[in-house]
Amino acid sequence: QHWQPLFALGAPLLAICTIGSAVEFCWAAGEAVLVPYLSKHGVRQWVVSTIYLANPTLGLCIQPRLGAWSDRINSRVPFVIALSLIALMGIAALMSAIPLTRALGLSYARGEDDDERDASIISPMAIAMAFLGFGAADICFDCLLIPGRALLDDVAVPAGGSGQANALFTGFQMCGRLSALLVGSSSWTTSGLWGLFKDYTDAHLNACFTVCALFLMTSMLSVVLLVDDRGSTFTFNPSDSESETAEMNDVRSDESQTLQSTLLGQTISNYHSNLSRADSITSGQNKASENWTYKPDACSLLYAVQSVGWLGVCAQSFFWTSWRGEVVGCIDLALQAAIGMATVVFLPRANASCGAAFVWCSSELFFHLLMISVVLVPLGDEYTRSVTPRIIGALSGINYAVHATNALLVAADIVPDQTKRARTIAMVNNALPTGQLITALSGGAIAQYFGGFEYVFVCYGIIGALITSVVWAYSSRHNLFSTNNEVP
């Protein structure tokens, strides 16, 4: 019943959702192989970490402008094409950085003779090329969600299924993440795509990013071939307000005629009737205007909650496998994605029953409490220390699904003007680079100060729980977020 509005949308809806799965696949693959690749070739850790500073900083500047530009021209597909092509060029630059610089004789040499060169060390030129390539691709991955989600709303809102469509998009994201974790750890990629890259030093990286490129191209072509990019068909130009304005002019004309007729001895009752009618129309116009009023306080609070939510998610992406071990950590994150996919199935029903804002805030608070509970892991026996983190990692998938979906639904209620849809999505999406930036700046320092990556989760969990609780209480008191039980 809750998914029924999507049945008529068919292939175009599925094509749009492949954007989410492609982005999440590329995210997860990059997180899994990039740092080991650079470290393997002698790049220092502090240099590696700078890529997680530069990309979010640029993303904070680019995403709002991208959303505004998409709304201005009222089109999405050109941005999907452009961002996908730039990302593909970035992937190509990353994969060819070492072979190209070595072919040009730019490899770094420890000694004077060719025989004394260390093959594992790469030149500064290769490092710069790899950084620029991955940086461009990573920013495009983040930005692709803006035209992708906006295009989704352009298609789904007229059918009355925006909430369900966004949940489905998130489900495809979880599927992409799970696929990346499974493919990245399989013999299919570790062997270099059945030996295609067997003679390459970095066979695993080349295999993973080749699959990323194929996934991205397939998604882009699906959107181009199957989706009719008509832009937003819901504009803030309500015909009711125009008709009411015309009616107001008629009423005022009637008032003038009534006053004139009163001088001829007619009653004043018609004048009072028209005055009451005019007041009613004016009240209706004011109410309509209030319903479309931009609420900056609500947007700021939503951004704060979403940003601290991304702190925990980014901490898991950056540090979970280091804390748990590469193989075990990947299993935990794979379970997280699987639980996220299951959550998506029930999310529209939960939103319809409890309201999107309530589900979102309660899920964020639950996630932060999970992160705080990591501090209890060392207190148990060996079995508990092994199983408890896996349960925590798996249950965090519930919030991953809600986090990626409901903030957009709440934002759509705060800024319901469909002509500003991409800008609204960019505002919500900008919380991601904010979380990445804070995590990159503070995560390593916290782990070093307290003596372990688990304390990063605990600290971010405490901060997130406090901010989420305060914002939830304040927004409920002042009715800033939607309290409507219907999915926007």
What digits encode the pLDDT tens for the residues 461-485? 999 999 999 999 999 888 888 644 4
Q: What is the 3-state secondary structure (H, E, C) of the chain?
A: CCCHHHCCCHHHHHHHHHHHHHHHHHHHHHHHHHHHHHHHCCCCHHHHHHHHHHHHHHHHHHHHHHHHHHHHHCCCHHHHHHHHHHHHHHHHHHHHHHHHHHHCCCCCCCCCCHHHCCCCCCCHHHHHHHHHHHHHHHHHHHHHHHHHHHHHHHHHHHHCCHHHHHHHHHHHHHHHHHHHHHHHCCHHHHCHHHHCCCCCCCHHHHHHHHHHHHHHHHHHHHHHHHCCCCCCCCCCCCHHHHHHHHHHHHHHHHHHHHHHHHHCCCCCHHHHHHHHHHHHHHHHHHHHHHHCCCCHHHHHHHHHHHHHHHHHHHHHHHHHHHHHCHHHHHHHHHHHHHHHHHHHHHHHHHHHHHCHHHHHHHHHHHHHHHHHHHHHHHHCCHHHHHHHHHHHHHHHHHHHHHHHHHHHHHHHHHCCCHHHHHHHHHHHHCHHHHHHHHHHHHHHHHHHHHCCCHHHHHHHHHHHHHHHHHHHHHHHHHCCCCCCCCCC
What is the value of pTM for the model shown? Answer: 0.80
Distance CA 488, CA 485 (A): 9
Which residues of the chain, if any, have pLDDT below 50? 109-117, 234-249, 251-252, 255-256, 258-294, 483-488
pLDDT of 377 reads: 87
Tokens 């490899």 belong to which residue? 107
